[in-house]
Structures are given as C-alpha cells and as structure tokens.
Structure 1
Amino acid sequence: MDIVFQQVLNGLTLGGIYSLVALGLTLVYGILHVPNFAHGAFYMVGAFISYTLIAKLEVNYWLAMLGAGAVVAVLAALAERLVFHPLRNESGLHPMIAAIGLLLFLEAGVQAIWGPDFLRMPTPYTGILDLGGVTAPVQRLLIIGAAFTLMLALHLFLTRTVMGSTIIAMAQNREGASLVGIDANRVAMLTFAVSGVLAAFAATLYAPINLVYPAMGHLVITKAFVIIILGGMGSVPGAILGGLIIGFAESFGAFYVSDHYKDIIAFVALVVILSFRPQGIFKGAH
C-alpha cells in the first residue's frame, strides 16, 4: 500500500505541473483558436530565468519564481503583439508556423546566452519527510501545494474578477464580446501574459527535481497538447483533469510497466479516451 501512495504522490507532482502548463495553453487557444507551439519555449525561458536568479544571483526561491513569471509575462505579451496580432485575420496555418518560428528563435537565443549544456537548479527545500511510510521529498510536496494553489487562484481570477470575466467572454464569443465594449487587443495581451506566468511558475517548481536545458519545453508542450485534447479544446476544467490523468498514468505506468515507456503513456491514454469520447472529457466548458 505504501508503494501505491508513493505513486499517488508522484502522479500529483507530474499532474500539477502538466495542468499548469496546459492551463496556459488552453487559455491562449480559447482566444486565438490556434495552438501556440511557442508555449513550451515560454516554459523553458522561465526555467532559465529562475536558474540565473537562484544559482547566479542567489535570489530567494520564491522571489526568483515571481521574477521569472514577470519576465515571461512580458515576453508572452510582446509575442502576442509582434507575432500573433498581425496574423489575427490569417488562416490557422500562418499563426501555427509563426509559433514554431518563435519557438526556434527563443531556443536559439537561450543557447546563445546560456549555452547548450544541462544545468541543475538548486533548491533550499532538500528535506525528506516520512508520511506513514511514504517517502515524500519536500520539493515534491511544494510542487503539489503550489500547483493546486495556483489553479485555485486562476479559477478565482477567471470567475470573480472583471478581467477574468473578459477573458472567458472573449473565449466564448469574440465578436459578441467586442460588441459590448470589451477591448480584444487588451484581453489578448492579458491572456498571453497570464499563460506566460503559469508556464514560468510551473518551470520554476519542476526544475529543481529535473534539469534545465534549451529543449526542455518540447516534451512538456507535447504532453500539454495531449492534455487539452483529452480535456476538450479550450476547457479549463478539462486541462486540470487531463493533466492529472496523464500524471497518474505516467506515474503508475512507469512503476508497473517500465520507466522507459512512461513518455508514451500519454499518447496511449489519448487514443483510448478519444476512442470513447472524441470531443474530449469536457467540450469547451469553462
């Protein structure tokens, strides 16, 4: 039974990170209706900014997370203005190609500044707790607690604030929202900024138990796309539930099947679930 609880802990850790990344991705999709492949690059940049602040400048871990969030929020908002906004009236293929170009540009920029090497981000939370026979590293507990706190904060932001309500209104009906006086340009920039913050926070939480390197966003963003397809394109609850499903599937699959195949499990889960529910778990519900 202790082994099962250990895998539950690992599943919550992975699921929390995947859900945060997928939430940012699904918010942008709700506004643009185009998958933002550059979102993985925002995740990667957030990790490198946090690494620099913590390892080089010895900034407090939480302050470094806020700093990374601020930098990536600005970067994401600029990307919306300079890359995606000029293509708003083009076909879906043009923004997708632009997003891939932005991804490659940011990766090349990071390699030019930090180099191609794998880096290890230090963390002040190195302790290990024994929770009734379950070994629980403090960093993993931190990831779980912070991830679900951020999800709750995002939910409250979207449902209890005027700015959050405008994002939902734009995602549901862009033309209708514009007719009632909502500034589409402002909402688009805000949405990209929020998605950038979520990506940077997720990267800062996960990097201490992983590695920091220029291509680190590739696998994460691929799984995030699987998650938002599972949960229903544009669905916030679906992104959270889909992230948890993939997190638990990987955790238990790696233990009971093989760690070598854990990255394939997400795609197997996608095929199985979509075979029974092609529209995803939640279809566009917010």
Structure 2
Amino acid sequence: MELILQQVLNGLTLGGVYSLVALGLTLVYGILHVPNFAHGAFYMAGAYAAFVLMGKFGVNYWLAMAGAAVVVALLAVIAERLVFHPLRNSPGLHHMIAAIGILLFLESSAQAIWGADFHRMQTPYNGIMNFGGLVMPVQRMLIIVAAFGLMVALHLFLKKTTTGSTIIAMAQNRDGAALVGIDPNRVAMLTFAISGVLAAVAATLYAPINLVYPAMGHLVITKAFVIIVLGGMGSVPGAIIGGLIIGFAEAFGAFYISTDYKDIIAFVLLVAILSVRPEGLFTKGVR
C-alpha cells in the first residue's frame, strides 16, 4: 500500500505539471485553432528566467517564479503581436511554421547565452517528510498544491469574471464575439499572456526536480499535445483530466513495467483511447 501511495504522489506531481502546460496550449488553440509548437520554448524560457533570477541575482524562489511568469508572459504577447497576429488570415500551416520558427529561435538563443550544459535549479524546499512510511519530498508536495491551486484559480477566472467570459466567447465563436463588441486583439494577447504564465510556473515548479537545459521543453510539450488530443482539442477540463491520466499512467507504468518505457506510455495510451473515442474524452471546447 505504501508503494502504491508513493506512485499516486508521483502521478499527481507529473499530472500537475503536464496539466499546467497543456492548459496554456489548449487556451491558445481555442483562440487560434492552431497548435502552438512554440509553447515548449516558453516553458524552457520560464525555467531559465527563474534560474537566472535565483542564481545570479539571489532572488527568493517565489519572487523568481513571479518574475519568470512576467518574462514569459511578455515573450508570449510579443510573439502573438509580431508573429501570429500578422498571420491571422493565413492558412493554419503558416501559424505552425511560424511557431516552429519561434521555438528554434528561443532554443538557439538559450544555447548561445547559457550553453548546452545541464543546470540544476536550487530550491529552499529540498526536505523530505515521512508520513506513515510514505516518503513525501517537500518540492513534490509543493508542485501538487501549487499546480492544482492554479488550476482552480484559472477555472474561477474563466467562469466567474467578465474577462474570462470574453476568452470563452472568443474560443466558441471569434466572429460572433467581435460582433458583440469584444476586442479580439486584446483577448488574444491576454490568452497568450496566461499561457506564458502557466508554462513559466510549471517550469519553475518542476525544474528543481528535473534539470534546466535548452531542449527541456521538447518532451513536455510533446506530452502536452498528447494530452490535448486525448482530452479534446480546446477543452480545459480535457487538459486537466488528460494530464492526470498521463501522469498516473507514467508513474504506475514506470513502477510496474520499467522506467525505460515511461515516456512512450503516453503515446500508447493515446492510441488506445482514440481507437475508442476518436474525438477525445471531451468535445465541448472551453465552454
């Protein structure tokens, strides 16, 4: 039972990180209707921003997380204004190519500045708690609490605020939202900013357990795409549930099968579920 509970803890940790990244990805998809391949680079940029703020400037962990969120939100908004907005009337393929260009630019910039070496981010929460024989690293508990707290805050923002309602309206019908007076440019920038914040927070939470390096966003964003396809393209509940499914599948798969196959479990699960439900688990978008 202790081993099973340990895997539940690991599953919640992975699921929380994956869900945060997938939420930002699915929100942007709801506005552009194009997968944002640059989202993994925003995740990487958030980790480096927090790493530099903590390592070079001695900033507190939480302030570094907030600073990274601001930096990546600005990067995302700049990308939307300079790259995606001019392509708003172009075919979806143009958006995808542009997103890959942003990805390559940010990764090359990170490698040019900090090199290709792996860096370890220090955290003040490196202790371990023991509860009834269950080993609970403090950083993992922090990830679970912070990730799911942020998901609840995002849900309340989308459902209970006027600004959140404009994002939902834009995702449901862009032309109809514009006709009733909603500014599509402002909503697009806000959505990109939120996606950047989610990516930066996820990276800052997970980087002390993982490592910081230019290509760190590749595997995470690949799994985030699996999650949003699994949960339904553009579905906020689908991103959360899909992230938890992948997180638990990886944790228990690594324990019962082998850690060597941990990273392919998500894709096997994707094929299995889409064979039964080709439209994904949720199909109502961000309603």
**What interval of TM-score do these two structures reach, taking the shorter chain for normalisation?**
over 0.9
Q: How does 1:103-118 map to 2 (within 5 A)?
A: 103-118=103-118
Give the drift of 1:133: 1.1
Q: How does 1:42-81 map to 2 (within 5 A)?
A: 42-81=42-81
Provide the residue aligned with 2:254 in structure 1: 254
- SS of the residue aligned with 1:208? coil
Give the drift of 1:243: 0.1
- SS of the residue aligned with 2:208? helix
CA distance in 1, matches of 2:111, 2:46: 14
1:126–1:137: 8 Å Cα contact kept in structure 2?
yes
Deviations 1:193-235 (A, max 9, x none): 0000000000000000000000000000000000000000000
Give the drift of 1:113: 1.3
> Displaced runs of 4+ in structure 1, greater than 4 A?
none
Which amino acid is the alignment partner of residue 161 of structure 1? T
Provide the residue aligned with 1:18 in structure 2: 18
2:172–2:285: 8 Å Cα contact kept in structure 1?
no
Deviations 1:63-85 (A, max 9, x none): 00000000000000000000000
CA distance in 2, matches of 1:281, 1:134: 33
Provide the residue aligned with 1:274 in structure 2: 274
Provide the residue aligned with 1:100 in structure 2: 100
CA distance in 1, matches of 2:181, 2:12: 41
Provide the residue aligned with 1:41 in structure 2: 41
CA distance in 1, matches of 2:2, 2:224: 29
- SS of the residue aligned with 2:129? strand
- SS of the residue aligned with 1:234? coil
* 1:186 correspondence with 2:173: no
* 1:206 correspondence with 2:236: no
Give the drift of 1:284: 2.9
CA distance in 2, matches of 1:137, 1:218: 26
Provide the residue aligned with 2:229 in structure 1: 229
TM-score, with length taken from structure 1 = 0.99
1:69–1:197: 8 Å Cα contact kept in structure 2?
yes
Which amino acid is the alignment partner of residue 36 of structure 1? N
CA distance in 2, matches of 1:166, 1:131: 45
For the aligned residue pairs, the C-alpha RMSD in angstroms reads 0.6
2:119–2:211: 8 Å Cα contact kept in structure 1?
yes
CA distance in 2, matches of 1:95, 1:243: 25
Q: How many residues align?
A: 286
Give the drift of 1:102: 0.5
Give the drift of 1:285: 3.6
2:30–2:285: 8 Å Cα contact kept in structure 1?
no
Q: Runs of 5+ in structure 2 lacking a partner?
A: none
- Sequence identity, in percent? 77
CA distance in 1, matches of 2:181, 2:233: 26
Give the drift of 1:114: 1.2
Q: Runs of 5+ in structure 1 lacking a partner?
A: none
TM-score, with length taken from structure 2 = 0.99
